[in-house]
Chains A and B, each alone.
Chain A
Amino acid sequence: MAKQVFEGLKVADFAWVGVGPQVGRELAEHGATVVRVESHRVPDSLRTFGPFKDGESGIDRGAFGAAYNTNKYSIAMDLTKPKGLELAKKLVAWADLVTESFTPGTMAKFGLDYESCKKIKPDIVYFSTCQMGQTGPLKQFGAYGMFGTTYAGYAHLLGLPDREPLPIFNNYSDFIAPWYLTSTVIAALIRRRKTGKGIYLDQSQVEAGVTFLGPTILDYNVNRRIALRMGNRDPYMAPHGIYPCLGEDRWVAITIADEAQWEAFCRVIGDPDWSKDPKFSTFLKRKQTEDELDSHIEEWTKHHPPEEIMTMMQDAGIPCGMVKTAEDLFNDPQLKHREHFRFLEHAVIGKHAYNAPAYRLSKTPNHIHKAGPCLGEDIEYVFKEILGLSDDDISDLFVAGVITTEADLPGAE
């Protein structure tokens, strides 16, 4: 295999939960050496979330906890113990990048904040990421990405205008944030190479979410229009919706952007009489009769499976796509073509799927070889090969409780 992009880059990965670990994952999948510092005493909450192997919870049984940690090494160490802190500082001295995503102030309590790390390694690149950022009156607000995404304005925009807003199961801003952050970290590493200077990066995940509502924010700032959820309607297109199809819980999205597409659409559905009614003859008229229009369309879509509708419409040049479930995505011919899902053997979970990034590099492709590690899986490798300790040293660390074990898990007897 050709040399990978980040080969030789070293990362001390103190980040946990959803956002922070994705940055180290991206770098590790391109060859960086990333050591995740975890602890059984305060386990990463991602390890406590399902889905679990066979539906049975356990610190190493969750596929979600594994997902953002491919190619990484995991050690389990108590940073509140002096010896743990000393070893963490050795890891910082070794590293090019330090990552963290705790509640603001936590790393300072350990003695591992940016200023402390800079003393150990003057050109260190260091990031902190959390919901609200390191400063401001709400900086201590800690919660999951659903909360941040809601605060960033998304729930208000999800649902029907006369009904309650809907929650955001997928913590949407938890994905926007790490993509910004990884890009910025790489920029900082390039700058370090040119200037010899390190940097501290402070990310607010809420702000990351807000940037993806840019046009909506400008509409308020300029026109004082407060956008409200509108179902699947679009101000500039009609018809524009998701329609029921043949089968259970099967749906298709159909959107008509111009007159040519409208005419093509009518042809595909067999030029029914209603479509010739003058009240649907122009975009402006269709916009005024959307409810009626949608009920006519539904009458047609519900007799066809979504795959068939998608193919018929796309063949006619109409933007149309079936609503994919997770199962559909595993069978999606396009994702298969791009080898989106990659499978690795996990020590406890067995063989399971990992996402590839959405970009394909022609010369330096992303590569995964190591499943998300079990907690403390790489203690021997990291303590010996990276920190230069002996077997005896490692035994002492276990005895002193510096290296944590399953006996240290909350609730363990």
Chain B
Amino acid sequence: METPSGEFEKLRRLLALKRYERPPAGCLDDMRQAVLARLRQEENRQAASPAEPRTPWWLVIREVLPPRPLWAGLVGVGVSALVIGALWQAEQLQLPGGLEGAGLAPVEVPAARPTWPAEAPPALPVLAQPGGLLAATNLPLSPARETVPGGMPGGLFAPPSLEVQRASSAPPAVQTVPWR
């Protein structure tokens, strides 16, 4: 990116004019005295309360990163990777594999009783009951939470045992009811 000699010579001579722009007389001395006074004041205040915190880390980052886009980008990528990793980990824990890894064995829950007659029409195939699959994702019930034979909850805060029909995305077997 070198330029031919003299191409910008006049411009450079003109720019040299800016070297003569000086601060008002005494401006820098006043500024220096103001800095020293402020630093002394801060030191006195710190001596009075030594537990005063230093510059917060976010202010330091704010000062350091803007002129360094590469570093800012790397920090951004790092933070994004951490967030994505944390989300992925959380998702893994919710999967059946995650429960096995945590030592929680799936329990068998009796499938819900079908509400339709036992005999399905012969023309339609019998679909798998979703109850078994869903049961694998359930946490095992501790003995304290099991219901007592009388139907009352075993513990003070144990939920009552209710018959709940599990939702399923599989379509139920279609039953043809003869028209009466």
Q: Do A and B come from one complex?
A: no
